[in-house]
Every structure is written in structure tokens, then in C-alpha cells.
Amino acid sequence: MDYLGYLIAGWAVVLGAVAVYAVSLIRRGKALSARVPADRRRWMTTDG
């Protein structure tokens, strides 16, 4: 396959950056969740 280095670099940058951002979002969410009472996190439970 031609340009294999470019292909891998391009895809890896996108997948890597999105993965790092997703993990950082999950971490930020967990850290913040710990500081907010459960009844204010309404997407987790319907009845609080």
C-alpha cells in the first residue's frame, strides 16, 4: 500500500486524540460527580 506512513499517522492522530479526550471527559465527570449529590445527577437514576 502506498503512503502507508501517512495513512497510519493520519488515522492514529485522530483516534488517539479522540481517545485521550474521551478518557479525560470520563475522568472529569467522575471527579465532579463525587462533589455533586446524587439527586442532582438525574441521568443516572429516575427516582434519585
Q: What is the CA radius of gyration of the chain?
A: 18
Shortest CB 31 distance to other proteins, Å: 9
Letters for 22-41 (x = contact with other proteins by CB under 8 A, - = none) are x--xx-xxx-xxxxxxx-xx
State the residue for C-alpha cell 460527580.
33
Shortest CB 45 distance to other proteins, Å: 6
| CB-based burial, 18-48: b 16+ in 10 Å, e otherwise | eeeeeeeeeeeeeeeeeeeeeeeeeeeeeee
Binding site for other proteins (CB under 8 A): 1-4, 6-7, 9-11, 13-15, 17-18, 21-22, 25-26, 28-30, 32-38, 40-46
